[in-house]
Amino acid sequence: MVSAFILINCGFSLVPGVMKELVKVPAISNVYQTSGIYDLVVRINSATEKELRKTLTTDICTIENVKSTVTMIVAG
């Protein structure tokens, strides 16, 4: 299993709508609202790194108002 944290920029006022869409993605186990440079932190779990990338590009980055992401794969 491959896990990663995804840092998401979407704009503070848009967080509720983006969170509503993120919780629909089966690979996402947790969604956290944050303050600072990033608006949300998401934990994602996938069987392979290829699946993780596919989820990121097709399910997360395509959500309306997601402006940018940073992916940090958890080693271990």
pLDDT at 72: 97
Q: Classify residue 24 as left (phi > 0), alpha (psi -120 to 50) or beta.
A: alpha
CA distance 21 to 16: 9
Count of domains forming the chain: 1
Low-confidence ranges of the chain (pLDDT < 50): none
Domain around 18 = 2-74
CA distance 42 to 49: 16
Would you state the structure tokens that stand for residue 55, as one six-digit string?
């989820």
> What CATH number does residue 33 fall under?
3.30.70.920
pLDDT at 75: 83
